[in-house]
Amino acid sequence: MPAPRPTDLQDRALGAYLGLAVGDALGATVEFLTPAEIRRQFARAGGAHKEIVGGGWLNLKPGQTTDDTAMSLALGEALLAGGGKITALAAARAFDEWMRAKPIDIGNTVRRNLLRFRNTGEAKAPESEHDAGNGAVMRALPVALATFGRTKSEIAAAFEAQAHVTHNNPLSDAGGLAVIALIHAALAGSPWPELKAIAQALAAGHPQYAWNKRQQENPSGYVVETLVAVLQAFFATDSFETCLIDVVNRGGDADTTGAIAGMIAGAWHGAAAIPKRWQKALNPVIAQRCREQAERLMAVSISIP
């Protein structure tokens, strides 16, 4: 449902980046749980997980984020170093440097393909049907911010350059480009039906993404299940808070559904719509890096002729 929108582009860009980190921190607590397990574990809180409290299988501190936010920030730095442009090699180096710092978590496909990059020096992974995980889409936000206002082919080239380092797969590409299109439409202040049309076009082009059919519970790391859950939650709710609570309580890859729903809902509803208690709970160093990148990536996108 449509709701009143912030009029300020910068507030929406900031909402997208803080939304990503907030969704990651919120969802990580219940990552890999089923909806029934979440209802049981949060029975005393009314049967739903609604607070940024850390924990989860990674035993996080409250407000700590995971690979979704970390890889986005690494990619954002590489984009800024390239003046808003990215090559597969620059992305591969940024991700490899992040992996060398021994992150608390890392996806299997990401690890496998970064080790392949280390061994071969070839940044781009060969196309693979096994690489339809959500790992390239979860870090798409800095590309969306840096390519705001660019042509379709420039946007696709930037997304795919970074994506194909670890996930060279048509479903990942289609999903990632749809997420970027949704973020761009939300940033531009486009009306609700335009966003719906983007999601419907995704399902028309790739029937696996038919998100309007049955409810996706327990979404896995398969990009289709992840994005179906995100699209259902986003289009069924009218606030940032209800969207995020809906999607993370579906369990499964909840930090990543939270991160992706957070970027889209954050771009739509704006930073001011992110509950203050969640903004306060977010790790302040991470929050500051998100703020800085949101501002600098938007400045770069607007400055490119």
For Mn ion, the closer CB: 77 or 253: 253
For Mn ion, the closer CB: 80 or 110: 110
For Mn ion, the closer CB: 79 or 259: 259
Residue 140 structure tokens: 């798409």
For Mn ion, the closer CB: 232 or 301: 232
| Nearest-angstrom CA–CA distance, 256 and 253 | 6
The answer to whether residues 293 and 54 touch, using CB atoms and an 8 Å cutoff, is no
> 29, 166, 208, 256: which one contacts Mn ion (CB under 5 A)?
256
Phi first, then psi, for residue 169 (nearest 5°) are: -150, 135
| Nearest-angstrom CA–CA distance, 158 and 144 | 9
Phi first, then psi, for residue 60 (nearest 5°) are: -75, 155
Residue whose CB is nearest to Mn ion in the complex, by number: 66
Strands (E), the chain: none
Q: Which positions from 215 through 254 interact with Mn ion, judged by CB under 5 A?
A: 253
Size of the site for Mn ion (CB under 5 A): 6
| Nearest-angstrom CA–CA distance, 223 and 226 | 5
| Nearest-angstrom CA–CA distance, 176 and 137 | 5
| Nearest-angstrom CA–CA distance, 236 and 247 | 10
For Mn ion, the closer CB: 68 or 241: 68
| 160 binds Mn ion, rule: CB under 5 A | no
> 11, 67, 77, 173: which one contacts Mn ion (CB under 5 A)?
67
Stretch that binds Mn ion, among 2-10, 67-75, 163-171, 191-199 (CB under 5 A): 67-75
| 66 binds Mn ion, rule: CB under 5 A | yes
> 11, 68, 77, 160: which one contacts Mn ion (CB under 5 A)?
68
Q: What are the residues binding Mn ion (CB under 5 A)? A: 66-68, 253, 255-256
